[in-house]
Structure 1
Amino acid sequence: MTDIHELPLSYIVHDDGTGDGDPWATELGWLWTHDSARMLTVVQSIAENGQYTPIDIAQCADQRGGKRNRMWNGHRRVAAHLALGLPLIAARLHIEQEPE
């Protein structure tokens, strides 16, 4: 089982890419423009009940041979935390293995 950590939201938005590599500004704009009803539901749920499900972040190799973090589950939860001004978000951290 993967450990769950409380991470600063600023770390996620500034340092972790979205799963498809889009900048966060593009991702957030799309969510609020094309999925606003669902976004409002997520915001209301987190405001009333807190965050039930952590986001998922994978540490993987980047194109230069270094490491980067990639968020692959939880885009709406991140957007809701931003809208609510919440500083921390629960996240599961996964380490992607190098191919042998």
Structure 2
Amino acid sequence: MTTSCIHSAAPMPRWPALPRQKPNPLQEEKVSTESSAMTTAPAKAYQVNRAAQLLDVSRSTIYRMVKEKRLVMVKIGKRGSRITAESIAGVLNQPH
């Protein structure tokens, strides 16, 4: 007597994608403090990738905007750099 075991897994339902909203650069982000408690404080500078997300542009565009002096980049150490939140807000508030 042979019995075959057939596993037929039903396909997982696909959920509709949620609409993406542009985050507000002035919105408070969580930062850790020395007491290991999480508090919220507005970010003063963003990594290039995060700035690109906020402005919905590529990293190359961020660097081009820095070169055109539309964004302000600050250096952190030898290799680190950040885009100031103030300059991002200025770009977001510009009339098109």
Normalised to the residue count of structure 1, the TM-score between the two structures is 0.26
* Higher radius of gyration, 1 or 2: 2
Which gives a bigger RCO, structure 1 or 2 (Cα 8 Å, sep 6+)?
A: 1
Larger helix fraction of residues: 1
